[in-house]
A and B are shown apart, each in its own frame.
Chain A
Amino acid sequence: MTSKIVVTGLGATTPIGGDVASTWAALLAGESGISTLEFEWVARHQLPVTFAGQAKVPAKDTLSHKESKRLDPSSQFALVAAREAWADAGAPDVAPERIAVEFSTGIGGVWTLLDAYDSLNQGEARHISPMTVPMLMPNGPAAAIGMEISARGGIRTTVSACASSTEAIANAITRLRSGDIDVVVAGGCEAAIHPLPIAAFASMHALSRRNDDPTTASRPYDINRDGFVMGEGGAAIVLELEEHALARGAKIYAELAGGGVTSDAYHITAPDPEGSGAARAMLQAIAMAGAKPTDVMHINAHATSTAVGDIAEYNAMKKVFGDHLANIPVTGTKSATGHLLGGTGAIEAIFVILALHHKVLPPTINLFDQDPAIPLDVVTKPRPIPAGPALAISNSFGFGGHNAVVAFRSYEG
């Protein structure tokens, strides 16, 4: 029988909290992490969107001067999250060669890249910071984590837009099953609340423009949803084989039971309206968990609050679960956190893990008038779940037609 993979550490910094405990408490309390951007560049560039989910606690508050100076904001979030996760796991005493990192970003060091370009336009090439390349490279966050925990078993960055960090977690399964690795730190981060990405996402009509009411702008499944809300932050989980975790006396939050990764090859940004690729990813994750669709009792949906995305995901879920879908409570936690792009899958995985661990499903906020075309059982208040084994999935989809799904099972010891 294949060994179980278990979750032994959690870390996060998000628009609703600077760590996992405060993020989870704020999520259950129905708080919104979305606010108006108070920067001069918003008016200077006449941005059509003037709000986002900014990190509740700036990464600089917990990092050293040197770390803040040498790391792009995305890597700063990654390091904050990974440090918390590693400490939470009890800082496992493992040979460096048997530690791996699977850590994603969707966009990479966009602040560093564009600041450097501004400098270049104002002066000479020789005035560009020598730190520019290591700070802007998309593997920067993963490398920073790897240095922190001395991971020498391979540090990898999967980039698949908003599916990135769910795919990173799914990739960790392969690493651990290979037998070459004992511990994986997996997750993702993003720090793209910069005028250019905001302008670019707005230009493709992907962002909500509810400038006068930011806290209710992210409203998955609502009939009046008008786009997603950008968020920033990072999240990390520590994964290991069950016997390894038990041997070192680690606490275990949940089991990572399965992962599925597929692609649509349909359109560069639009989801396949049939949801075939998304459905296959869900089915793969559930099958790897040794389960069937009717065993799934909770879904943390991708649910970005875009008109087409939410309905496409519903169609995909309908394809997988059929009539059983009506019995599955679904949560769209981007309603509270905004959309952390390459970091979103990791924070939502943590929400699933904690839901199974604490036996309570977190709510979707801002559902005022549910879209009748999406007749899901949407969780709008914290909802207790029965004791005993439970399987839940987290969906993530990204521009490029990427679909990634991970399945977690409650750990009953």
Chain B
Amino acid sequence: MAHSNEEILAGLVEIINEETSLPAETIELGKSLQDDLDIDSLSMLTIMTDAEKKFGMRFDDNASSTLNTVGDVVEYIAKTQA
């Protein structure tokens, strides 16, 4: 069953919060993963692995290079989920 964008954002915020311990309210759609949230490449891969498990979808191998903001990840998950 497809998740709504709101559900995806809520789930992604949980994952990012668990990985980075950043307060949930600071994790917003427009935030840059690298510049605003200080998420490095290993953390990004961890977040993607956790998201795949949570949403039952797959990121392409080169997906991370196209994902700059929280919103990018939400959109990617929304269009990729079964």
A44 within 8 A of B: no
**A129 and B49 contacting across the interface, CB-CB below 8 Å:** yes
Looking at the assembled complex, report how far the CB atom of B61 sits from the nearest CB atom of chain A, in whole angstroms: 10
Decide if B34 is an interface residue (CB 8 Å cutoff).
Answer: no
**A2 at interface by CB-CB < 8 Å:** no
Interfacial residues of chain A within 312-358, with CB under 8 A of chain B in the complex: none
Contacting B at CB under 8 A, from A117-131, are 123, 126-131
Q: How many residues of A contact B (CB 8 A)?
A: 13
Q: Does A69 contact B (CB under 8 A)?
A: yes
Are the CB atoms of B45 and A126 closer together than 8 Å? no
Give the residues in chain B near A130, CB-CB below 8 Å: 42, 45-46, 49
Contact with A along B47-58 (1 / 0, CB 8 A): 001001100001
Q: Is residue A64 within 8 Å, beta carbon to beta carbon, of the partner chain?
A: yes
Interface contact A69-B19, CB-CB below 8 Å: yes
Chain B nearest Cβ from A122, distance in angstroms: 11
From residue 82 to 136 of chain A, which have CB atoms closer than 8 A to chain B?
A: 123, 126-131, 134
* CB <8 Å contact, B53 and A127: yes
Shortest beta-carbon distance, B27 to chain A, in Å?
15
Contact with B along A259-292 (1 / 0, CB 8 A): 0000000000000000000000000000000000
Chain B positions 36 through 71: 1 when the CB is less than 8 Å from some CB of chain A, otherwise 0:
000000100110010011000010000000000000
CB neighbours of B4 from chain A (8 A):
none
Whether the pair A66, B20 counts as a contact (CB closer than 8 A) is yes
- Do the beta carbons of B21 and A65 come within 8 Å of each other? yes
B49 adjacent to A126 (CB under 8 Å): yes
* Nearest neighbor of B53 in chain A, beta-carbon distance: A127
Give the nearest-CB partner of A66 in chain B.
B21
Quote the shortest CB–CB distance from A68 to chain B (angstroms): 10
User: Among the interface residues A65, A129, A130, A134, which one has the most CB atoms of the partner chain B within 10 A?
Assistant: A130
| Nearest chain B CB to A353 CB, angstrom units | 36
Nearest residue (CB) in A for B20 is A66
Given A130-B42, A131-B42, answer yes or no on A64-B49 (Cβ-Cβ < 8 Å).
Answer: no
- For chain B, residues 12 to 38, give those with C-beta under 8 angstroms from any C-beta of chain A: 18-21
Q: Which residues of B contact A (CB under 8 A)?
A: 18-21, 42, 45-46, 49, 52-53, 58
21 of the cross-chain contacts (CB-CB < 8 Å) are A64-B21, A65-B21, A66-B20, A66-B21, A69-B18, A70-B42, A126-B49, A126-B52, A126-B58, A127-B52, A127-B53, A128-B49, A129-B46, A129-B49, A130-B42, A130-B45, A130-B46, A130-B49, A131-B42, A131-B46, A134-B42
Given pairs A127-B49, A127-B53, 13 additional interface contacts (CB within 8 A): A65-B21, A66-B20, A69-B18, A69-B19, A70-B42, A123-B53, A128-B49, A129-B49, A130-B42, A130-B45, A130-B46, A130-B49, A134-B42
